[in-house]
């Protein structure tokens, strides 16, 4: 049985370097594209502490990027940090990458949907994916940029056109929905949220975010269906809760960095050959009629090793899935059409 609970991010906080793995272990080059932003900086901070990262390459168009890299490079952890600013330095940043994490792009403001970001973010993700296709076609892509439901199809189409598509290597990051669900259930049950394990399926926006509460371990201590529906809606709208609270100052950044570091760590453990590495992500899929779909996956040496599907849904969850599919199909079509126009 695979378990996602109690698998802490491989972050080692050490002052003397003694706790870090050394030469016997394979280490990896990780690129953060969009590294100077609200997510990018704290994500880079967490990844600089990951024992599996030997080279952390920070790419952004923002002028501060070399400075962010110098700043992080003073931390006494083994990962080498390099900074790369602007399109002319992109290929060098990405060359040799094992994993490319993409939080590049604009975030929401109050009143906007994630789909409202499409026009700005689509070309950013397209161009980054095109560079990955050219200089690091075997890298695993982890796409944070919204709308995730459309960005993964864009990156996949770009890879396909370049003749290097490997769907097992392109992930849309839905980990923040998992993290939130675990936290909210932990609060309800009065337990450590790190011990909660729950599959998140569908996609990453509104009705496409489906927490499979009936499969939560431990079981959610809610029997009233109205309360289960309220919790589901809170998880689906948690991103909007942050956008509203930040009042024009952007969307979730710190919790997203935490979630992005968790997913990246899982990808790296899979690449290293660890067994039973399971995380949810949004990937090319034949689990439903939607050609991209999120659910638990086994991560391994070549990315997605096995799609675990979504198991048994109760009646309410089946209704949620039914509502999600048309929205996913629409989001996916928009992405595919953009990439092929």
Residues lying near ligand LMR in the complex (CB under 6 A) are found at 107-108, 114, 146, 176, 239-240, 242-243, 251-252
Least separation in angstroms between residue 207's CB and ligand NAD is 16
Please, which of residues 142-161 interact with ligand NAD by CB under 6 A?
144-146, 148
Compute the distance between CA of residue 200 and CA of residue 153 in angstroms, rounded to an integer: 19
Least separation in angstroms between residue 34's CB and ligand LMR is 13
Least separation in angstroms between residue 142's CB and ligand LMR is 14
Active site residue 84: no
Please, which of residues 16-35 interact with ligand NAD by CB under 6 A?
33-34
- Decide if residue 104 touches ligand NAD (CB under 6 A): yes
Compute the distance between CA of residue 146 and CA of residue 177 in angstroms, rounded to an integer: 14
Pick 119 or 286: Cβ nearer ligand LMR: 119
- Decide if residue 206 touches ligand NAD (CB under 6 A): no
Cβ pair 101, 139 in contact under 8 A: no
Pick 60 or 197: Cβ nearer ligand NAD: 60
Among ligand NAD, ligand LMR, none, residue 61 binds (CB under 5-8 Å by kind): ligand NAD
Among ligand NAD, ligand LMR, none, residue 42 binds (CB under 5-8 Å by kind): none
Least separation in angstroms between residue 277's CB and ligand LMR is 23
User: Distance from CA of residue 57 to its chain's centroid?
Assistant: 18
User: Exposed, middle or buried, 247 (CB in 10 Å: 0-12/13-18/19+)?
Assistant: exposed
Among ligand NAD, ligand LMR, none, residue 242 binds (CB under 5-8 Å by kind): ligand LMR
Compute the distance between CA of residue 122 and CA of residue 118 in angstroms, rounded to an integer: 5
Three-class SS state of 102? strand
Compute the distance between CA of residue 17 and CA of residue 7 in angstroms, rounded to an integer: 22
Handedness of CA 108, 109, 113, 119 (dihedral sign): negative
Q: How far is CA 247 from CA 77, 105, 217, 239, in A?
A: 36, 19, 35, 13
Among ligand NAD, ligand LMR, none, residue 243 binds (CB under 5-8 Å by kind): ligand LMR
List the catalytic residues.
Answer: 204
């Amino acid at each position: 049985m695979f378990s996602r609970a109690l698998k802490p991010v491989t972050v080692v906080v050490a002052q003397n370097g003694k706790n870090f793995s050394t030469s016997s272990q394979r280490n990896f080059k990780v690129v953060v594209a969009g590294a100077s932003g609200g997510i990018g900086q704290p994500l880079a901070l967490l990844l600089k502490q990951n024992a599996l990262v030997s080279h952390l390459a920070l790419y952004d168009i923002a002028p501060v990027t070399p400075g962010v890299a110098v700043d992080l490079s003073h931390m006494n952890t083994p990962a080498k940090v390099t900074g790369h600013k602007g399109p002319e330095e992109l290929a060098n940043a990405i060359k040799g990458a094992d994993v490319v994490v993409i939080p590049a792009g604009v975030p929401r403001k109050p009143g906007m949907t994630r789909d409202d970001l499409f026009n700005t973010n689509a070309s950013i993700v397209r161009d980054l994916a095109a560079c990955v296709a050219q200089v690091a076609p075997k890298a695993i892509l982890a796409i944070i940029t919204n709308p995730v439901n459309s960005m993964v199809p864009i990156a996949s189409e770009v890879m396909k056109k370049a003749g290097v598509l490997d769907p097992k290597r392109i992930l849309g990051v839905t980990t923040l929905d998992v993290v939130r669900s675990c936290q909210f259930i932990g609060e309800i049950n009065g337990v450590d949220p790190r011990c909660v394990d729950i599959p998140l399926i569908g996609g990453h926006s509104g009705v496409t975010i489906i927490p499979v509460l009936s499969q939560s371990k431990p079981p959610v201590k809610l029997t009233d269906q109205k309360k289960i529906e309220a919790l589901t809606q809170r998880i689906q709208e948690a991103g909007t809760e942050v956008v509203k609270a930040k009042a024009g100052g952007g969307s979730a950044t710190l919790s997203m960095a935490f979630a992005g570091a968790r997913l990246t760590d899982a990808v790296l453990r899979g690449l290293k050959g660890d067994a039973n590495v399971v995380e949810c992500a949004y990937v090319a899929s034949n689990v439903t009629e939607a050609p991209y779909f999120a659910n638990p996956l086994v991560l391994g040496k070549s990315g997605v090793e096995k799609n675990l599907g979504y198991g048994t849904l109760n009646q309410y969850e089946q209704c949620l899935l039914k509502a999600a599919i048309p929205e996913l199909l629409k989001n996916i079509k928009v992405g595919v059409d953009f990439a092929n126009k």
